[in-house]
Amino acid sequence: MSNKIKPSEEQLEYATILQKVGLGGLGILIVSFIVYVFEVLPTTIPINEIPRLWGLRVDEFIEKTGMPTGWHWVPLLHNGDMVSFLGIVILAAASLICFLAILPTFIKKKDTPFVVIVAIQIIILLLAASGIISGGD
Amino acid sequence: MSRRLRILLSAFIVIAATLFLGSIGYCEETAAVAAGQGSAVAWWMWPIILFVFTFFLGILAVVAGVGGGVLFVPIVSSFFPFNLDFVRGAGLLVALSGALSAGPGLLRRGLANLRLALPMALIASTFSIFGAMVGLALPTNVVQAALGGTIIMIVIIMATARRSDFPDVKKADTLSSVLRISGIYYEESQGKEINWQIHRTPLGLSLFILIGFMAGMFGLGAGWANVPVLNLLLGAPLKISVATSVFLLSITDSAAAWVYVNKGAVLPLIAVPSVAGMMLGTRIGVRVLAKAKPKAVKWIVVSILFLAGLRALLKGLGIWR
């Protein structure tokens, strides 16, 4: 890009946060997976059982294994398989974190249409993450 | 086609064929397990096989210029014994990770545009949530048949869609003017700055309802649909469209990913090796691309995609078990 052209302040802010959260999430994803597969911590579902059951639909899989849905994995974080959800959740939350960070910039600039768009986007992602509109319990 | 690429492609086809034959055997093995007999395949083999497979898939995706997310779901669901629910959950994470890796650089260089992406992302992400919910509620054979039909449609779009480097937008429409969706970027190939604006914004926004829904329902990246809408319909320059599409995926797929995570349809044993293999593969693919002749590879990959789509369609319709 030519030196004369600079992306907007909020675009650069978004990029910086996205990079940090994305890299952090990927790092945690890999490390937590190593913890899981090398069985450094105990697991809620024996790892060698999973290949026998992953051909089932998700509802049947949960019924047979008792795997937690929604946010019920959080109290079980002392287990290796639940730790591996940390990286996944950070990756899924990356956009939400970026939107929360750039909302004040749009407010400061009095950019009303984008304040509204970003605010609604935050609400949608929060509702999805909470399970309220995404069917988690 | 270079020698190195020929070897990579051959290796991929051999692995795919082995897995395809293996997956048929696996169905028999699953029945044996259900009958109380043990499994012959050690569990730790699966993440390794998946990692190697997605590594090659990542290389081919870059060389063929096809999104990794769109290749992952139909091909992995054809060759591996995982339920489609878990493949779609992993597919969303694969597409999401790729978008998160590329997004920051594209935003900093001014190629991805935040003002262009945000209104589209709001619509697409909202409907991706509904798509994911519908996809997880419908019977597998219905989703499989719909996935097959969609993949065949994607192949047709890939084969026929033209692209315009610098679409001629004479006048910005009212909505894009109110939202101030326009920009300027430095076009290296021409050594000059390019001003751009868009038109037909309401129509474009309404198409993102469908794009988001399909992305969530099938766990696919949606670059194949984002780029034609941004480029041909809205009139954004091709580079802006491609880069903004990648960035858009990071928002659309994260909304749908929450549904799969909350429903328990993301298995780390499937998702993490896939993400790692695909990301490493795409990095190597960028190097291979410099020496490869992508056109031939593109047609081979598109043919594999077509076969995977056809298989999903026939499997969903109960014609090919």
- pLDDT (tens digit per residue) in B228-285: 999 999 999 999 998 999 899 999 999 999 999 999 999 999 999 999 998 888 888 8
* Residues of B (13-32) whose Cβ lies below 8 Å from A: 26-27, 30
Is any Cβ of chain A less than 8 angstroms from the Cβ of B76? no
Among A88, A120, A121, whose Cβ lies nearest the Cβ of B93?
A88
Determine, for residues A37 and B44 on separate chains, whether the beta-carbon distance falls below 8 Å.
yes
Q: What is the mean pLDDT of residues B207-219?
A: 94
pLDDT band at B221 (very low <50, low <70, confident <90, very high): confident
Determine, for residues A62 and B264 on separate chains, whether the beta-carbon distance falls below 8 Å.
yes
DSSP B116-162: HHHHHHHHHHHHHHHHHHHHHHS-HHHHHHHHHHHHHHHHHHHHH--
Has residue B317 got a pLDDT over 70? yes
pLDDT band at A136 (very low <50, low <70, confident <90, very high): low
Instruction: State the nearest Cα–Cα gap between B41 and chain A, in angstroms.
Output: 9
Q: Where are the alpha helices (DSSP H) in chain A?
A: 9-37, 50-53, 58-65, 80-108, 112-130
Residues of B in contact with A121 (CB under 8 A): 118, 121-122, 125, 251
A38's tokens: 């090398």
pLDDT tens digits, A75-98:
999 999 999 999 999 999 999 999
pLDDT tens digits, A119-134:
999 999 999 999 887 6
- Distance (Å) of CA A110 to CA A116, B180, B206: 11, 13, 27
* Residues of A (29-58) whose Cβ lies below 8 Å from B: 29-30, 32-33, 36-37, 47-48, 50-52, 54-58
Among A37, A54, A117, whose Cβ lies nearest the Cβ of B86?
A54
Polymer length of chain B: 321
pLDDT tens digits, B156-207:
988 887 778 889 899 999 999 999 999 998 888 888 889 999 999 999 999 9
In a domain, B321, yes or no: no
- Size of the A and B interface in Cβ pairs below 8 Å: 201
In a domain, B134, yes or no: yes
- Listed by start position, the domains of chain A span 9-130
Residue B90's contacts (CB-CB under 8 Å, 6 or more residues apart) are B72, B76, B82, B219, B266, B267, B270, B271, B274, B275
B16's tokens: 């795919």
ipTM: 0.94
Residues of A in contact with B275 (CB under 8 A): 26, 29
Q: Is B81 helix (H, G, I), strand (E, B) or coil?
A: coil
Cα–Cα nearest to B209, from B150, B145, B121, B147: B121
Is any Cβ of chain B less than 8 angstroms from the Cβ of A119? no
Residue B106's contacts (CB-CB under 8 Å, 6 or more residues apart) are B112, B243, B244, B246, B247
Domain count for chain B, please give it: 1
Has residue A39 got a pLDDT over 60? yes
Determine, for residues A88 and B268 on separate chains, whether the beta-carbon distance falls below 8 Å.
yes
Strand partners for B163: none
Residues of A in contact with B120 (CB under 8 A): none
User: Is the four-CA dihedral B208, B250, B305, B274 of positive or negative sign?
Assistant: negative
* Residues of B (279-308) whose Cβ lies below 8 Å from A: 279
Question: Which residue spans within B164-280 are E strands per DSSP?
Answer: 182-187, 192-197
Residues of B in contact with A91 (CB under 8 A): 93, 96-97, 100, 254, 257
Instruction: State the nearest Cα–Cα gap between B54 and chain A, in angstroms.
Output: 16
- Distance (Å) of CA B147 to CA B32, B74, B136, B151: 29, 8, 13, 6
Has residue B33 got a pLDDT over 70? no
The reported pLDDT for the residue numbered A132 is: 85
Residues of A in contact with B265 (CB under 8 A): 58
Determine, for residues B101 and A22 on separate chains, whether the beta-carbon distance falls below 8 Å.
yes
Residue B116's contacts (CB-CB under 8 Å, 6 or more residues apart) are B181, B183, B198, B230, B234, B236, B240, B244
The reported pLDDT for the residue numbered B152 is: 94
The reported pLDDT for the residue numbered B23 is: 52
Determine, for residues A54 and B270 on separate chains, whether the beta-carbon distance falls below 8 Å.
yes
pLDDT tens digits, B287-305:
777 666 667 777 888 888 8
Which structural domain range is residue B46 located in? Answer: 3-316
Determine, for residues B100 and A56 on separate chains, whether the beta-carbon distance falls below 8 Å.
no
Contact predicate A42/A80, CB 8 Å: yes
Among B43, B140, B273, whose Cβ lies nearest the Cβ of A51?
B43
pLDDT tens digits, B42-86:
888 989 999 999 999 888 887 777 778 888 999 888 888 899 999
Question: Cα-atom radius of gyration of chain A, to the nearest Å?
Answer: 19
Instruction: State the nearest Cα–Cα gap between A131 and chain B, in angstroms.
Output: 6
Q: What is the dihedral of CA B1, B3, B7, B10, to 10 degrees?
A: 40
* DSSP run (H or E) holding B201: helix B201-218
Cβ burial A26-43 (10 Å sphere, 16+ → b, else e): bebbbebbebbbeeebeb
